[in-house]
Chain A
Amino acid sequence: MSETMFEKIWQKHRVLDRDDGQTLLYVDTHLLHDGGATAFDFIRNRGLKPRAPERIFATPDHYVSTSTRKVEEIEDPRHREMVEKLDRNTREFGIKQFGLGTEGQGIVHVMGPEQGLSQPGILLVCGDSHTSTHGAVGALAFGIGSTEVAHVLATQTLWQRKPKTMRIRVDGTLSDQVTGKDVILAIIAKIGAAGGTGHVLEYTGSAIRGLSMEGRLTLCNMSIEGGGRAGMVAPDDTTFQYLAGRPHAPKGAAWDTALDRWRALPSADDAVFDAEVSLDGSAIQPMVTWGNSPEDALPIDGRIPDPSKAVDAERREQMARMLVYMGLEAGTPLSEVAVDRVFIGSCTNSRIEDMRAAAAVAKGRKVAGSVRAWVVPGSEGVKRQAEAEGLHDIFRAAGFEWRQPGCSMCLGTNGDIAQPGERVASTSNRNFMGRQGPGARTHLLSPAMAAAAAITGHFTDVRRLLAGEA
């Protein structure tokens, strides 16, 4: 019984294995968002319908406006149409939708755990690469393309070849203000943006155990940025406390039997992984990215790297291009780089704990005059909770805009984009060229670090700001 957690979940979901190495897996839970209209066109054109609509849950996030909750007020007709299509498709096929303005609506990867849909031991898929997020509760969760979404709609199954496994161990105690975001940026800086390709990543070690559920969700969210097929954390009391009482979590006797099952999920002590990586958690500092790949991350006390010191010509050319795009000079301390915009949001960092961390920095301070700062809660639930705690008042008093839940500036499909050349301190997950709008310059960091950048107008070690030194 020396199986990994991944192996246990995989085995249980096998419908059949083919001789050629493909396995047909049964999907417990299928999440949909408003970018998935093509998959419905696909099955409709073939005269098919969803096989198990009761296993499908939908919410609009990519195309919703963050200034209104009224669909008819979405200005761009293309965007409005995407939100309307999700509504029509879910109604037509009897799929549960957490619609705009209702408690459950939000970024699909915030909604799933919050509603208790993401559960230990299940196989969960969604037509979105950050589906890896849900592995934080001990699920096998991964993103799929729209042809695969259509396949899951029609058959509730998916063909897969068994991926490899990688254990990423982070031991030690994290320093103050070092979060799940900093841990995952440090991991990706170490393994590289393709380091986890073809692997399911399992995060273990005392630093991971010590993370809250929100921190683990952030960690697993960015598994894809390290190339990982999925990311997972073994369920434990932190997980169970988080899930207990959530709308779709098991209740009563069913909860007790579920707990027994869930406690048997963690990888065996002698489980063998295809690859092993380890990091010293106590050495991780608050991180900020400087380039156009999440692997280009540095501790806040670092300087913009010098391409002439690159390991090879390819990397030299790539670094030079990134510095031009990012408008940065080699050797500049990160803490001297000024920002124009701050975005606190996205499926990486828009949960209640993220709101609290940013608000703790914003409290009693003012956003620098040169900065436009946004806070976009990840879901209606997060928004309501934050407002109940008065966080929105703290943000507003400090000069942040408090907006409606959605993906927003993470990708800008709803029109929330930065202008060419604008530098954005962003709590999202991708700093790709043009990700936040053509020519926009994205730096990834944690919510507290983003709030600190908003206050000082440049990247700052949030610990120094809180200590009154910056």
Chain B
Amino acid sequence: MEAFRTLDAVAVPLPRPNIDTDQIIPARFLSRPREVDHAGFLFHDARRLPDGEQDPEFALNTEAWRNARIVVAGKNFACGSSREAAVWALFDAGFRCAIAPSFGDIFSNNGMKNGLLPVVLPADVVEAIIAQVEADPGARIQVDLPAQTVTAPDGSVHGFEVDPFAKHCMLEGLDEIGLTQSYEEEIAAFERRFGRENVR
């Protein structure tokens, strides 16, 4: 996985709550292997008008936010399906961080295993940041994972929590399987207790 340390990038506002993973990437694009560039599937339907043309009102379609690498969203961002392709679509389109008051649990896990940092901030802080980036399209946000801070366009600094293990893996770009294999002895000992039976 690509390591994540710090990021200074344009942030796009998606102020709605409950933006689900079906909107982030519609189901009909899920049969593609990871090697396929998923950027074109990102919000494929949500960013288009019923006639198939790009909706000029959709934030990601506007010039100022075309190069955004951070999304700032309403609560329960990326809820719903476990499709990891939701992370791939964001990642392939350049996103490395999502900020919201809460996330779908599985998306958070998927993000941290793919170099896309989910940052939970209080709802009022997220609201304020959204107001700032909406007022100044193209405004940048700084994310510092070692320090666990987000610096909003107005210069205010906000701390965030992150699981120490996930932080370590993201900072180093670690592949968890390799790490888990270093515990082979413990896993094998556990297995010897139960054989093929269910754990009891």
Assuming A156-B191, A194-B17, A197-B103, what are 17 further A-B pairs, CB within 8 angstroms?
Answer: A20-B164, A21-B165, A22-B163, A24-B186, A24-B187, A128-B82, A145-B83, A145-B113, A147-B113, A147-B176, A193-B76, A193-B79, A197-B104, A224-B80, A412-B27, A432-B22, A438-B26
Asked whether A66 is an interface residue with its Cβ less than 8 Å from the other chain, the reply is no
**Whole-angstrom distance between the Cβ of A424 and the nearest chain B Cβ:** 15
- Chain A residues near B163: list those with CB within 8 A: 20-22, 161
Number of interface residues of A (CB under 8 A): 76
Interface centre among B50, B103, B200 (most CB of A within 10 A): B200
B20 to chain A, nearest CB (A): 5
Per-residue 0/1 for A103-122: is the Cβ within 8 Å of any B Cβ (1 yes, 0 no)? 00000000000000001011
Interface string of A198-230 (1 = CB under 8 A from B): 100000000000000000000000001101010
Residue of B nearest to A22 (CB): B165
Task: Please report A residues at the B interface, Cβ cutoff 8 Å.
Answer: 12-13, 15-16, 18, 20-22, 24, 26, 28-29, 35, 37-38, 41-42, 46, 48, 52, 54-55, 63, 78-79, 81-82, 119, 121-123, 127-129, 143-148, 150-151, 154-157, 159, 161, 163, 193-194, 197-198, 224-225, 227, 229, 261, 292-293, 295, 314, 317-318, 321, 411-413, 420, 430, 432-435, 438-439
- Bound together, the chains give a CA A134 to CA B138 distance in angstroms of 46
Chain B residues near A (Cβ < 8 Å): 15-18, 20, 22-23, 26-28, 30-31, 33-34, 45-46, 50, 74-76, 79-84, 87, 102-106, 109-110, 113-114, 163-165, 168, 176-177, 180-181, 183, 186-187, 190-191, 196, 198-200
A147 touches B23 (CB 8 A): no
Within the complex, the shortest CB–CB distance from B123 to chain A, in Å, comes to 10
**Roughly how many angstroms separate A439 CA and B170 CA in the complex, as a whole number?**
38
The answer on a CB contact under 8 Å between B45 and A143 is: no
State how many angstroms separate the Cβ of B12 from the closest Cβ of chain A: 18
Distance, CA A314 to CA B124, complexed state (A): 13
Q: Is the interface of B mostly helix, strand, loop or mixed?
A: loop
* CB pair B18 A413 closer than 8 Å: no
Q: CB within 8 A of B198: which of A20, A28, A420, A434?
A: A28
Which of A21, A42, A81, A434 is B26 in contact with, Cβ under 8 Å?
A434
Residues of A within 8 A of B103 (CB): 197
Residues in chain B near residue A420, CB distance under 8 A = 50
Q: Could you say which of A48, A52, A119 contacts B177, with CB atoms under 8 Å apart? A: A48
A12-B200, A318-B16 given; A413·B181 CB < 8 A? no
Given contacts A159-B176, A420-B50, contact A15 B183 (CB under 8 A): yes
Q: Which of B76, B84, B164, B190 contacts A38, CB < 8 Å?
A: B84
B20 touching A430, Cβ below 8 Å: yes
Given A119-B198, A194-B75, does the pair A20, B110 have CB atoms closer than 8 Å?
A: no
What are 27 inter-chain pairs, A to B, with CB distance below 8 A? A13-B199, A35-B30, A38-B34, A41-B34, A63-B31, A144-B82, A145-B82, A145-B110, A147-B110, A147-B113, A148-B110, A155-B187, A156-B191, A157-B187, A193-B76, A197-B105, A314-B74, A317-B16, A412-B27, A413-B27, A413-B30, A413-B31, A420-B50, A430-B20, A433-B45, A434-B22, A434-B46
Which of B46, B110, B180, B198 has the most A CB atoms < 10 Å from its CB? Answer: B198
Q: Assess A227 versus B79: contact at CB under 8 Å? Given A24-B183, A24-B186, A26-B190.
A: yes
Q: Select B22's contact among A42, A261, A430, beta carbons within 8 Å.
A: A430
Chain B hits for A21, CB < 8 A = 163-165
How many angstroms between the C-alpha atoms of A318 and B16 in the bound complex? 7
Beta-carbon nearest neighbor of A430 in chain B? B80
Which 9 pairs from chain A and chain B are nearest by CB?
A145-B110, A194-B76, A20-B164, A145-B84, A129-B82, A22-B165, A147-B113, A432-B22, A146-B84
Tell me the nearest residue of chain A to B169, going by C-beta: A159
Q: A16 to B186, Cβ gap below 8 A?
A: yes
Contact flag A151-B109 (CB < 8 Å), given A156-B187, A412-B27, A432-B20 = no
Q: Which of B87, B177, B198 contacts A150 (CB 8 A)?
A: B177
Determine how close the nearest CB of chain B comes to the CB of A448; give it in whole angstroms. Answer: 26
* Bound-complex Cα distance A225 to B191 (A): 34
Residues of the B chain whose Cβ atoms lie less than 8 Å from the Cβ of A119: 198
Select one of B82, B87, B180, B198 contacting A151, CB under 8 A.
B180
- Is the pair B23, A434 in contact by a Cβ cutoff of 8 Å? yes
Bound form: Cα–Cα A197–B79 in Å: 10
Q: Which of B45, B74, B109 contacts A434 (CB 8 A)?
A: B45
Shortest beta-carbon distance from A235 to chain B in Å:
13
Quick check: B27 and A411 within 8 Å, CB to CB? yes
**Residues of B with C-beta under 8 A to A54:** 196
Q: Is the CB of B18 within 8 A of A26?
A: no
- A154→B84 contact, CB < 8 A: no
Interface contact B165-A18, CB-CB below 8 Å: yes
Task: Establish whether residues A155 and B26, one from each chain, have CB atoms under 8 Å apart when the complex forms.
Answer: no
Closest to A15 in B: B190
Closest to A224 in B: B80
User: Hey, which chain B residues are within 8 Å of A22, CB to CB?
Assistant: 163, 165
- A-side contacts of B114, CB under 8 Å: 147
Q: Which of B15, B76, B82 has the most CB of A within 10 A?
A: B82
Which residues of chain B are within 8 angstroms of A150 by Cβ–Cβ distance? 177
Across the interface, name the chain B residue whose C-beta is closest to A51: B187
- Nearest CB on A from B24, distance (A): 10
Please give me the residue from chain A that is nearest to B105 by CB atom: A229
Complex Cα distance, B116 from A24, in Å, reads 22
Residue of B nearest to A19 (CB): B164
Known: A129-B81, A145-B84. A41 touches B33 (CB 8 A): yes
- Measured CB to CB, the closest approach of chain B to A223, in angstroms, equals 11
